Amino acid sequence: MIEPPTAAAAYFVILVEPTTGPSLPVTDHLLSVSDCLTDRYPSDDADHRWFASPAEALAACEGPLPPDARLCSLRLPADSAAVLTAALRAGNTYEPVLLPDHPLPPAPDGRILGWEVLGHDIGLMHTWLCNDLYEDAVRDLAVTTTPYGLLPDHPTAARVAAWANARTDTKPVTWFAAALAVHD
């Protein structure tokens, strides 16, 4: 399957921990951009959400990372970057690292672990998993997730995003597909 080209939108460090709950995929290592499902390292401080480079993200951690911490990047295809940019500008949200006109250094090789369906609103990144869409998507669209609770490819994530945007029972955001990569 041919995936669209993606560009690193931002870097962040998360602690990978087991996450359980109704309406969530069963996994020992859920990865998500959403602050609702994962813990940012070193903290959930709004000033330390997104970083322009891996070095900047790691420097903010001030020391060795815990064994379950992962340096990740949010990677966006062009259509998703346009949706996120529109949401940031409409909400007057100051997240310059996420804007495509912010110059990012070339992304180091990272391993894309899967795709997530996201929406941005009032400084928060929402995920389809926090909006009780998982069980409905499994039932209505026959989607499956990876061992990290992510969607397996861009076409599946784009289909879930379009389906979520057509619903009236989710957060009032425009949903888009984004890849999550881990950098060792």
Whether the pLDDT of residue 44 is over 60: the answer is no
Whether the pLDDT of residue 27 is over 90: the answer is no
More confident residue, 36 or 157: 157
* pLDDT (0 to 100) of residue 7: 77
* pLDDT (0 to 100) of residue 82: 87
If one counts the domains in the chain, the total is 1
d(CA 116, CA 13): 17
Backbone angles phi, psi at 78, to 5 degrees: -55, -40
Residue 166 lies in a domain: yes
d(CA 180, CA 72): 7
d(CA 80, CA 71): 22
Residue 48 lies in a domain: yes
- Residues with Cβ within 8 Å of 118's Cβ and at least 6 positions away in sequence, in order, are 33, 34, 84, 125, 126, 127, 128, 175, 176, 177, 178
* pLDDT (0 to 100) of residue 66: 85
Residues paired with residue 70 on neighbouring β-strands, in sequence order: 14
Residue 25 lies in a domain: yes
> Which tokens is 45 given?
């401080």
Q: Angle at Cα 178 formed by Cα 172 and Cα 182, nearest 5°? A: 135
Mean pLDDT of 49-63: 84
Mean pLDDT of the chain: 84
d(CA 56, CA 73): 12
d(CA 17, CA 12): 16
The pLDDT > 90 percentage for the chain reads: 30
Residue 2 lies in a domain: no
Residue 1 lies in a domain: no
What is the pTM (predicted TM-score) of this model? 0.89
* pLDDT (0 to 100) of residue 43: 66
Q: Which of 8, 15, 16, 85 is nearest to 53 (CA)?
A: 8
Mean pLDDT of 3-26: 80
* pLDDT (0 to 100) of residue 161: 96
Q: Which of 11-25, 33-47, 118-132, 148-162 has the highest mean pLDDT?
A: 148-162
Residue 53 lies in a domain: yes
Say if CB 41 and CB 66 are below 8 A apart: yes
Say if CB 72 and CB 183 are below 8 A apart: yes
Residue 105 lies in a domain: yes
Distances (CA, A) of 86 to 13, 46, 120: 25, 20, 10
Per residue in 67-113, pLDDT (tens digit) is 888 899 998 888 888 888 888 888 777 777 777 666 555 556 788 99
**Which residues form the domain of 142?**
7-183
